[in-house]
Amino acid sequence: MAAAAPEAPSRSACIFCNIVNKLEDTEILYEDEEICVFRDIRPASRFHILTIPKRHIEDVKSLTAADKDLVEKLLTVAKEMLTKNGLTEDVARFGYHWPPFRSVKHLHLHTIAPESEMGFLAKMMFRKDSYWFVSPDYVISRL
């Protein structure tokens, strides 16, 4: 008896899970077995990517100590993507929206560069160390 073919992924209510499963027409800039990177659909600057875990994690409040390596890897890959695109960390802003201030309920790290090209609304929405937008270091410190 032949082994059954693996089932194709089904659509999810989560847009990012659909992107990970190639059910959306989204250009994947990088992926490996754990993470996926793609452009933000409403960029706050010339370079604005989202780095996400392939595994569905709702948000930063859902993370546990067991996720520390994953969270560190999200940041490492985001920094590598900056370099590949001719940008440096000193002109970039990294962060996570703090619940309930997020539009998609799937953990995602924003990488925005250069900060100097961000408009007024983007600077407010992605305000450093605000109640609604926190740094990767802050997230890691809570794990």
Helices (H), 1-143: 15-20, 68-84, 120-125, 136-141
Residue 5: the pLDDT is: 58
Average pLDDT, the chain: 94
The pair of structure tokens assigned to 51 is: 């780095």
pLDDT tens readout for residues 75-102: 999 999 999 999 999 999 999 999 988 8
- Is residue 52 pLDDT above 80, yes or no? yes
Residue 6: the pLDDT is: 62
pLDDT tens readout for residues 9-24: 678 899 999 999 999 9
- Is residue 51 pLDDT above 80, yes or no? yes
CATH of 15-141, one of 3.40.50.720, 2.40.50.140, 3.20.10.10, 3.30.428.10: 3.30.428.10
Query: What is the rounded distance in angstroms from the CA atom of residue 121 to the CA atom of residue 126?
Result: 8
- pTM for the predicted model, two decimal places: 0.92
3-state secondary structure of 53: strand
Among 97, 106, 108, 110, the one annotated catalytic: 108
Percent pLDDT > 70 in the chain is 94
**b/e code 50-73 from CB counts within 10 Å (16+ = b):** bbbbbeebebbeebeeebeebbee
The pair of structure tokens assigned to 50 is: 């989202």
Residue 1: the pLDDT is: 54
- Residue 108 annotated as catalytic: yes
pLDDT tens readout for residues 54-82: 999 999 999 999 999 999 999 999 999 99
